[in-house]
């Protein structure tokens, strides 16, 4: 099975223009949605003392990330790529998350208990 | 000396005569060559993620520290031009994807058309960016060169922005921190525009090569990998648009 699967994976997959058009429309819809959402106050959620989630940035970043995933999967062909490419892309985003989370843990813990 | 080189070349040529001309000798198959260059392109893009990632993290931390300054700084940006530029860039990504498809199915006319469209949309994006930057220059919002905190100390002095957001005046030291916002605005959009400029320059080169049929004889690696670069630059803008223009409106 694995031999055949490997063979299949190596073939160059041509993504059809129809797929590209669908993705284009999805991306433009996402852009319209995110601009529309920025005109409304989506409110906030107080989880605990000093910890609040504001929904406007969450919505904007969620839509941006959805658009990013569509571009990566279809325009950049990652959906049709070999596992090595998928692993490479995933590790790139993972490193970026490490960069963000480690830096923020530092900044959040510097004045721990002194606010 | 020159004789032996000729002999060696002939021997190599005979050994590999059944391969397409664009296959380098150190690859066993065209597929392997494609995969290797594709992988290398992704590794390059990973370094780019970390490069822009530093700017994004700086923006996040600064925005947390000087929140009011970043919100009022952001209110100076035009949603209209920002949205227009996002649409232009997304459409250019689409035409780039169609260029890759045209090269894959070996349609030279279509490839030229889509490459030219991508080039055109790239220029439109840079033009709109230029209009926005020029407005910042006019309004004294270029830190280090031409800056005034007037619009943040006394928001009513900027009636166009004031009637939409009704911003409160900032304290003098917070008003000064709006420079941090505009510094990051110029650093991030500037670095992005530099990538666009490099992209449209490579597109000119590609259009000339495509005209000579370089990408429509089965060798799509260059078009495919340039497409990856172009889409990456599009992704960066998708986040810049959300972070710089949208999230501070409420």
What residue in B sits closest to A29 (Cα-Cα)?
B87
- What residues of B are in contact with residue A60 (Cβ under 8 Å)? 242-243, 246-247
Same domain as A68, residue A102: no
Using the structure block, give the residue that is written with the tokens 């650093």: B187
Q: Please, what's the b/e burial string for B41-70 (b: 16 or more CB within 10 A of its CB; e: otherwise)?
A: bbeebbebbeebbebbbbbeebbeebebbb
Domain extent for A40: 14-80
> Does A32 map to a domain?
yes
> Does B9 map to a domain?
no
Report residue B189 as tokens. Answer: 């959009």
- What residues of B are in contact with residue A20 (Cβ under 8 Å)? 94, 97-98, 101
Domain extent for B93: 30-246
What size, in residues, is chain B?
250
Same domain as A41, residue A29: yes
Q: What is the mean pLDDT of residues A37-55?
A: 86
Question: What is residue B9's predicted lDDT score, i.e. its pLDDT?
Answer: 52
**Total structural domains in chain A?**
2
> Does A72 map to a domain?
yes
**Total structural domains in chain B?**
1
The percent of residues in chain B predicted with pLDDT above 70, rounded, is: 93
Q: What is the mean pLDDT of residues A83-111?
A: 91
pLDDT confidence tier of residue A24, bands split at 50, 70 and 90: very high
Same domain as A64, residue A46: yes
Which range has the worst mean pLDDT, B5-9, B98-102, B161-165?
Answer: B5-9
Q: Are B38 and B225 in contact (CB under 8 A)?
A: yes
> Does A7 map to a domain?
no
Give pLDDT tens digits for B103-118.
999 999 999 999 999 9
> Inter-chain contact B60–A100, Cβ cutoff 8 Å?
yes
Same domain as A72, residue A85: no
- In chain B, % helix, strand, coil (3-state, to 5) comes to 80, 0, 20
Same domain as A97, residue A49: no
Look at residues B127, B52, B122, B126 and name the one whose alpha carbon lies nearest to residue B94.
B122
The percent of residues in chain A predicted with pLDDT above 70, rounded, is: 87
Q: What is the mean pLDDT of residues A108-114?
A: 76
Give pLDDT tens digits for B144-201.
999 999 999 999 999 889 988 989 999 999 999 999 999 999 999 999 999 999 999 9
> Inter-chain contact B101–A16, Cβ cutoff 8 Å?
yes
Opening angle at CA B206, ends A18 and B85, nearest 5: 60
Q: Which of B78, B103, B247 to mutate to test the interface with A (most CBs of A within 10 A)?
A: B247
Question: Within its chain, how far is the Cα of B31 from the centroid?
Answer: 28
CB pairs under 8 A between A and B: 132
> Does B79 map to a domain?
yes
* B33 to A78, B11, B36, B219: CA distances (angstroms): 18, 22, 5, 10
Question: What is residue B27's predicted lDDT score, i.e. its pLDDT?
Answer: 87
């Amino acid at each position: 099975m694995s031999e055949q699967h490997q063979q299949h994976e190596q073939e160059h997959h041509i993504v059809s223009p129809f797929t590209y058009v669908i993705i284009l429309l999805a991306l433009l819809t996402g852009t319209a949605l995110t601009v529309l959402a920025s005109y409304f106050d989506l409110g906030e959620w107080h989880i605990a003392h000093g910890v609040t989630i504001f929904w406007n940035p969450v919505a904007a970043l969620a839509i941006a990330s959805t658009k990013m995933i569509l571009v990566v999967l279809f325009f950049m062909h990652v959906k049709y790529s070999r596992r090595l490419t998928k692993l490479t892309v995933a590790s790139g985003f993972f490193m970026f998350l490490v960069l963000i989370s480690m830096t923020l843990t530092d900044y959040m813990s510097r004045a721990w208990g002194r606010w | 000396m020159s004789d032996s080189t000729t002999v060696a070349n002939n021997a190599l040529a005979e050994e590999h005569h059944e391969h397409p001309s664009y296959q380098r000798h150190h690859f066993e198959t065209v597929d392997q060559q494609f995969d290797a260059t594709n992988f290398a392109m992704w590794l390059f893009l990973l370094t780019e993620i970390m490069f822009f990632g530093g700017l994004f993290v700086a923006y996040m931390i600064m925005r947390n520290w000087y929140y009011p300054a970043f919100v009022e700084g952001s209110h100076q940006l035009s949603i209209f031009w920002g949205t227009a530029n996002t649409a232009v860039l997304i459409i250019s990504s689409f035409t780039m994807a169609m260029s890759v498809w045209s090269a894959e199915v070996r349609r030279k006319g279509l490839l030229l058309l889509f490459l030219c469209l991508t080039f055109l949309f790239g220029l439109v994006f840079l033009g709109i960016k230029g209009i926005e930057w020029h407005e910042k220059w006019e309004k004294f919002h270029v830190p280090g060169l031409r800056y005034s905190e007037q619009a943040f100390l006394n928001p009513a002095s900027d009636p166009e922005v004031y009637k939409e957001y009704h911003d409160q005046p900032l304290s003098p030291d917070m008003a000064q921190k709006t420079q941090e916002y505009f510094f990051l605005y110029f650093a991030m959009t500037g670095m992005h525009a530099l990538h666009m400029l490099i992209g449209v320059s490579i597109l000119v080169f590609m259009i000339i090569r495509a005209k000579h049929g370089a990408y429509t004889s089965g060798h799509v690696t260059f078009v495919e990998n340039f497409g990856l670069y172009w889409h990456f630059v599009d992704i960066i803008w998708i986040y810049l648009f959300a972070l710089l223009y949208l999230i501070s409106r409420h």
